[in-house]
């Protein structure tokens, strides 16, 4: 378990602070993560990677020459927000455009996609690429739905080495696509991981058993088998991966492969070496030539006891890129000339901290009516934070049935930050719209992950609808909720029946619109819609998930409501209470 921490909510920030203090030769801190401390040639494509904390050396440990130009770092097991990614990418950009790379998880896809749109709006050319190497998370016919695990490293490295060679953005992207298409991973676990401050692991494995096909966020495996010997584990890993070759590889014999035997947190290096001796022998028996193997911790999951095997099937070009030198805090290969420090950072002290004094926060002008309404908005956000805090453990338990168990933690971080930001804006005299949009940004930044992106979208849609000029009436609020429903579906791609929060948001929005259309006051209309939301959330227990981290464990979730749907229903009821108090 994770034993050394202060405030669990501050763990990720404090870990990143310590990491940058320890590795100033390679990295410097920027808002949202880190970038190279060494100079990058003007016009070079910037490869910016990222994901949640808890996976070190991914992602911050892979920043340096020959690998990433920057890493956006989210909270524990939660993707960084679009604002964080945008900040890191802007700092890393040197004129050649940006390739954003990440593991294929819903939250990362949403946030990195939004960041790419913001970069484009700034005039910075940006592309995205999601690594999807975990063969246990979807079949070959649905390979685009697979998770990204330790295959991140060879794919990131191929793209970064191509960028170092001065290739343009589109060619660097094609290299990433080629490497991703030829990378496969498979893993097993013997125990789950325990997050900072938690008193139990996200999942458990029965004695003398192992979980097969694990994720790196504490997701349970897709099955269980008897605990193997080291040689039996090696055989399972190798034989499973050799059953699925890239389309242009007919036979493993005569092929070259980059091989990574990855420890997930608490399997000791000596144990990995015992397994690798057999992995190497089995691949040799199959006629595979191993190129520059890596054995160690490359993508971890806190203290999870588990291992994964990754094969990247090489051609001449990919082998050149795999062998290329790199110099980062956690991954070094070959030799590079002495690095030139990046001196173009006048606002950074020798301690690596920004010294520029932030401008005093300002808010747009607002009418008296909107400022009064902002008080009600603040009260509702306080109610949201309180109900989430009260049910955070319950939400985590629901999420852990088929997911990674962090929904309650993320919702608590997001709702608390949103209320704090809203209170600050309200104190400056902001109107209802600005209070909501400040809360939206704070929720997305602090929660990260899918829920952060979606709740940021919900609050921003409401804020846009309410604005700062007029007193929002029931019809305007209902219009904002309807727009939020449409925005969430467009952003996440989910529809009713996929077992997500959309299964509650859509009927809630429809019921609220219908009730306000009948002329009901807002509190009464919201009460009716909240009742609809509660029923809809309960109904998700009968659905099989078709999206998100729960999808590979669909059958396990039958009988349990979706955590995001349940939290939304709780929130709608809590907001009704706040509306009654401020009626």
User: Do 104 and 66 meet the contact criterion of CB atoms below 8 Å apart?
Assistant: no
Q: Which long-range contacts (CB under 8 A, 24 or more apart) does 243-251 make?
A: 244/135, 244/140, 244/184, 245/313, 246/181, 246/182, 246/313, 247/181, 249/182, 249/313, 251/287
The position carrying tokens 């349970």 is 220
For residue 36, how far is the Cα from the chain centroid?
22
Name, in order, each residue with C-beta under 8 angstroms of 104's C-beta and a sequence gap of 6 or more: 130, 131, 132, 144, 145, 146, 147, 148
User: Do 163 and 172 meet the contact criterion of CB atoms below 8 Å apart?
Assistant: yes
Give the closest residue to 127 by CA, choosing from 77, 165, 167, 186: 167
Bridge partner residues of 261 (DSSP): 295, 309
Name, in order, each residue with C-beta under 8 angstroms of 464's C-beta and a sequence gap of 6 or more: 433, 437, 480, 483
C-alpha to C-alpha distances, 427 to 50, 413, 435, 446, 456, nearest whole angstrom: 34, 21, 10, 21, 21
CA dist., res. 282 & res. 288, Å (int): 9
Give the closest residue to 216 by CA, choosing from 233, 205, 203: 203
Name, in order, each residue with C-beta under 8 angstroms of 332's C-beta and a sequence gap of 6 or more: 326
| Strand stretches in 418-559, DSSP E | none
86 is catalytic: no
Q: Is 293 exposed, middle or buried (0-12, 13-18, 19+ CB in 10 A)?
A: middle
Which candidate in 217, 391, 419, 566 is catalytic?
Answer: 217
Catalytic residues: 217
């Amino acid at each position: 378990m994770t034993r050394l921490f202060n405030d669990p909510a501050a763990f990720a920030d404090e870990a990143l602070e310590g990491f940058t203090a320890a590795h100033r030769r390679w990295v410097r801190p920027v808002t949202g993560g880190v970038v190279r401390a060494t100079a990058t040639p003007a016009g070079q494509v910037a490869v910016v990677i990222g994901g949640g904390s808890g996976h070190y050396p991914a992602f911050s440990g892979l920043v340096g020459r020959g690998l990433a130009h920057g890493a956006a770092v989210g909270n524990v097991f939660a993707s960084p927000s679009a604002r964080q990614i945008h900040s890191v990418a802007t700092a890393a950009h040197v004129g050649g455009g940006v390739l954003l790379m990440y593991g294929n998880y819903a939250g990362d896809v949403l946030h990195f996609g939004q960041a790419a749109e913001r970069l484009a709006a700034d005039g910075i050319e940006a592309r995205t690429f999601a690594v999807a190497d975990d063969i246990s998370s979807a079949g070959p016919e649905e390979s685009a739905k697979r998770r990204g695990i330790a295959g991140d490293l060879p794919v990131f490295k191929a793209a970064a080495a191509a960028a170092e060679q001065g290739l343009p953005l589109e060619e660097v992207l094609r290299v990433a696509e080629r490497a991703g298409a030829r990378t496969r991973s498979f893993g097993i676990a013997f125990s789950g991981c325990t997050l900072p401050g938690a008193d139990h692991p996200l999942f458990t494995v029965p004695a003398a058993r192992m979980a097969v096909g694990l994720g790196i966020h504490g997701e349970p495996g897709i099955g269980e088998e008897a605990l193997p010997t080291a040689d039996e584990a090696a055989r399972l890993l190798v034989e499973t991966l050799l059953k699925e070759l890239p389309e242009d590889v007919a036979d493993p014999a005569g092929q070259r492969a980059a091989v990574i035997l990855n420890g997930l947190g608490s399997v000791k290096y000596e144990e990995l070496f015992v397994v690798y001796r057999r992995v190497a022998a089995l691949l040799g028996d199959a006629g595979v030539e191993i190129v520059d193997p890596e054995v160690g911790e490359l993508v971890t999951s806190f203290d999870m006891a588990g291992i994964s095997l990754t094969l990247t099937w090489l051609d001449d070009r990919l082998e050149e890129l795999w062998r290329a030198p790199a110099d980062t805090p956690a991954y070094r290969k070959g030799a590079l000339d002495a690095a030139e420090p990046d001196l173009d950072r006048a606002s950074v002290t020798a301690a690596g901290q920004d010294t520029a004094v932030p401008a005093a926060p300002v808010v747009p002008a607002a009418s008296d009516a909107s400022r009064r309404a902002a008080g009600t908005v603040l009260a509702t956000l306080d109610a949201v934070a309180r109900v989430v805090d009260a049910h955070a453990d319950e939400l985590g338990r629901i999420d852990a049935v088929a997911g990674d168990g962090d929904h309650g933690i993320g919702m608590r971080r997001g709702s608390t930050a949103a209320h704090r930001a809203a209170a600050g804006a309200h104190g400056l005299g902001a109107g209802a719209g600005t209070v909501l949009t400040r809360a939206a940004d704070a929720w997305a930044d602090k929660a990260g992950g899918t829920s952060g992106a979606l709740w940021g979208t919900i609050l921003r849609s409401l804020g846009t609808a309410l604005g700062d000029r007029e007193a929002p009436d029931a019809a305007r609020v209902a219009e904002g909720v309807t727009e939020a429903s449409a925005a969430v579906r467009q952003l996440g791609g989910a529809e009713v029946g996929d077992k997500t929060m959309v299964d509650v948001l859509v009927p809630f929005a429809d019921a609220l619109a219908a009730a306000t259309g009948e002329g009901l006051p807002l509190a009464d209309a919201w009460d009716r819609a909240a009742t609809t939301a509660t029923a809809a959330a309960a109904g998700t227990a009968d659905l099989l998930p078709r999206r998100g981290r729960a999808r590979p464990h669909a059958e396990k979730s039958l009988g349990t409501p979706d955590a995001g749907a349940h939290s939304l229903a709780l929130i709608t009821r809590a907001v009704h209470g706040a509306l009654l108090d401020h009626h």
